[in-house]
Structure 1
Amino acid sequence: MMIATSPSQKTMQCLFLLSLLMAVAVPSRAKVPAVIVFGDSSVDSGNNNLIQTILKSNFEPYGRDFEGGHPTGRFSNGRIPPDFISEALGLKPTVPAYLDPRSTIKDFATGVCFASAGTGYDNATSDVLNVIPLWKQLENYKVYQKMLRRYLGVKKAKEIVREALYLMSIGTNDFLENYYIFPGRSSEYTVEQYEDFLVGIAENFIQRLYELGGRKISLGGLPPMGCLPLERSKNIMSGSGCIDEYNQVAMDFNGKLQGLVVRLKKEMPEIKLVFSDSYSILLDVIHQPSSFGFESAAVACCATGFFEMGYLCGGTAPSHVRMEQIRFWDSFHPSQRTNQIISDHLMKTALAEFLV
């Protein structure tokens, strides 16, 4: 005997079936409750604003394309990779700096940045411009954990620490700001030995982060540092092309970091450690700019729109320059659009496993 159903019952049944189908068809998002960042200017969202160093970006024209059009301490005209990655993970569109007095533990609970522009793996690198060394970033992270426990309770805080995605982007300054400029490290180590020295520091940092509860960690590699506008401007006798030696060092160092990732995944069975390679995608942007809708890849926008000999912007960005056409914002740092391209690439490659 058939049982009659009312229109409302049929509607409810259809909605129930639809919800089941959607649950099967749509993959569940990984549980990434927070993005926690360590590193240098490639990921610093403003910590250098609050320390005694000349290396700051809290002045115009930095931030001209950030929401509100004001400088934040990010070394870009807008957002940087952690911001885009946080948003891609379904979290907030910007990751606040740990030292930002306007932010509280409520803001930090879903993401916080400990990075400091100008720093490196090597303590000697952070001493050059008096910025926050990597070991101090980890000490700040320990304080953050205590704050998190007081705010959310031990159980919830432990869950966030365990499930958060940890982004590391560091190392360029060790070579370009330290090894190749000052005689200290270059007199102690060959470049290959210095690479090994830095890899050892990276290993120790990841082990300590693991001991503190971190499990999902992205170890970022070096960019094609010989192609940064500042380095190309130094290579004027060779037509201002990329410095091949520096790019080769970056590739060699990245290979060693990849080897470290493979080994640590065997030694730490609970770790979800990935190597995030920005080298290839940034090199594509530099050598094939038209493929990404860009113009000349050698140009840094501020201040003159041509090669910049200084590390930072020295004036206002030209008003006629379209920001979506700019690959590099200053002599070292990609524009917001390039940052987004790099972040999208990482989300589709190394970080993809945190989306499924």
Structure 2
Amino acid sequence: MLIISLSVLSNSRSYGAEEEIANFVFGDSNVDVGNNDYIVSLAKANNVPYGIDYGGPTGRFTNGRTIVDILDLAQTLGKFGQSPPYLAPTTKGSVILKGVNYASGGAGILNETGSVFRLYNMGAKKILVTNVGVIGCIPYERKLNLCLGNQCAANPNQLAQSYNVKLKSLLTELNNNLKGSNFVYGDTYGTFNEVIYHYQSYGFENVNSPCCSNNPWDKSGSLLLCSPSASVCCDRSKYAFWDPFHPTEATNMIIAKRLIDGNISYISPINIRQLLNS
């Protein structure tokens, strides 16, 4: 599942003071920046080769940066800094006021739904919510359905599409009913689907199997995440998926760029740049 709730919180202005922009993130392992390092969970990314292109493992479930890392650090935005994991010992006091990442591997949709309403009631009016991605195309699902060959699993994708239609409708309703709100819908499904079916135009060579592969993946069908003994592809930029569940930094970069400057085919009714300047 790929779902991100990214909230941009504008603090109240005081006379002569500049507007404060804070970035609060809720989601699952696709945007976890290390929260799972501090909880009891089977979902961990604190071992090599995770973070191989990020200076080492940090709890991010990819080889490098997550989507929100790229959004946070985008020099073209220049509005806010990188959001630290909420559970990190150093995330306290004034640090929290500048934005926090609450995302956790294994988190569910219902948790994020409540978070969005709480943020709105606390003053957050600019909120980006991305839909569920092409879960039927992740290597995990392909391995469960070997008879599909290079095709994606239809049922998971149909469920995702059904949910996404209702999510978009809900956000439109919230924009109409919550005074001053600006909910933006990011179509992660559409972007990733485009990458899967037109991968060569994006510079990818492999969109079916993970770059990081435990040996049993290829022999006995094991679906474990990347272990320290796993084999890793030489060029991560040629793979859409890092492990059986998560995209590579290269894929995250494509999605992030579409969220920042994409047209209404990828993010609506406005993109992140327009949202921040509104």
Q: Which residue of 1 aligns with 2:38?
A: 50
Q: Secondary structure at the match of 2:100?
A: strand
> What are structure 1's unaligned runs of at least 5 residues?
1-29, 123-133, 135-167, 169-201
Q: Match for 2:223 among 307, 310, 319?
A: 310
How far off its partner does 1:283 sit?
1.0
Shift of 1:208: 2.8
Shift of 1:92: 5.8
What is the CA–CA distance in structure 2 between the aligned matches of 1:93 and 1:290, rounded to whole Å? 33
Give the match's secondary structure for 2:250.
helix
Q: 1:345 aligns with which of 230, 233, 258?
A: 258
Identify the residue that residue 218 of structure 1 maps to in structure 2. 128
Identity percentage of aligned residues: 36
Match for 1:259: what amino acid?
A: S
1:247 aligns with 2:157: yes
Question: Which residue, out of 198, 206, 219, partners 1:288?
Answer: 198
Does the aligned pair in 2 maintain the 1:301–1:317 contact within 8 Å?
A: no
Distance 2:95 2:213 in 1: 33
- Amino acid in structure 2 at the alignment position of 1:64: I
Distance (Å, rounded) in 1 between the aligned partners of 2:116 and 2:21: 20
Q: Structure 2 residue aligned with 1:329, among 242, 251, 264? A: 242
1: CA distance between counterparts of 2:81 and 2:251?
17
Residues 214, 225 of structure 2: 8 Å contact kept = no
What secondary structure sits across from 1:115 in the alignment? coil
User: Deviation at 1:205?
Assistant: 4.3
- Counterpart residue number, 1:278: 188
The residue identity in structure 2 corresponding to 1:348 is D
Contact 1:95 1:113 in 2 (8 A): yes
Per-residue displacement from partner, 1:33-52 (whole Å, max 9, x unpaired)?
A: 22110111111111110011
The structure having more radius of gyration, on CA atoms, is 1
Q: Tell me by how many angstroms 1:317 deviates.
A: 5.2
Corresponding residue for 2:69?
A: 83
Q: Judge which range, 84-93 or 270-279, deviates more.
A: 84-93
Query: Would you say 1:70 and 2:77 are equivalent positions?
Result: no
1:38 to 26, 33, 38: 26
Report the counterpart of residue 115 of structure 1 in structure 2: 103
Identify the match of residue 234 of structure 1 among 139, 144, 149. 144
Q: Please say if residues 37 and 112 of structure 1, whose CA atoms lie closer than 8 Å, have aligned partners that are also in contact.
A: yes
Of 271, 275, 278, the residue aligned with 1:354 is 275
After superposition, the Cα gap between the structure-2 partners of 1:319 and 1:277, relative to the gap in structure 1 and judged at 3 Å, is closer
**What is the CA-CA distance between 1:84 and the residue it aligns to?**
0.8
* Residues in 2 aligned to 1:118 and 1:255: alpha-carbon distance in whole angstroms: 23
- More off after superposition, 100-109 vs 273-282: 100-109
The equivalent position to 2:83 in structure 1, one of 78, 95, 102, is: 95
Q: Name the Cα RMSD after superposition.
A: 2.3
Q: What CA distance in whole angstroms lies between the structure 2 residues aligned with 1:355 and 1:214? A: 12
TM-fit CA distance, 1:32: 6.5
The CA distance in 1 between the partners of 2:228 and 2:79, in whole Å, is: 34
SS of 1:342's partner is helix
1:143-182 correspondence to structure 2 within 5 Å: none
Distance in 2 separating the partners of 1:34 and 1:211:
15
Q: Measured at CA, do residues 32 and 274 of structure 1 come closer, stay the same or move farther in structure 2, by a change above 3 Å?
A: farther
Output the amino acid matched with 2:173. Answer: R
Q: Distance in 2 between matches of 1:288 and 1:298?
A: 13
Task: Give the equivalent residue in structure 1 for 2:12.
Answer: none
| Distance of 1:118 and 1:313 partners within structure 2 | 16
Find out whether 1:269 has 2:179 as its counterpart: yes
In 1, the alpha carbon distance for the partners of 2:200 and 2:20 equals 35
Residue type of the alignment partner of 2:83: V
> Matched residues in 2 for 1:330 and 1:319: separation?
10
Q: State the SS of the aligned residue for 1:111.
A: coil
User: What SS does structure 2 have at the residue aligned with 1:264?
Assistant: helix
TM-score under structure 1 length normalisation: 0.64
1:108 and 1:64, CA in 2 relative to 1: closer, same or farther beyond 3 A? farther
- Aligned partner of residue 273 in structure 1, secondary structure: strand
Q: Provide the rounded CA distance (Å) in 2 between the counterparts of 1:243 and 1:318.
A: 26
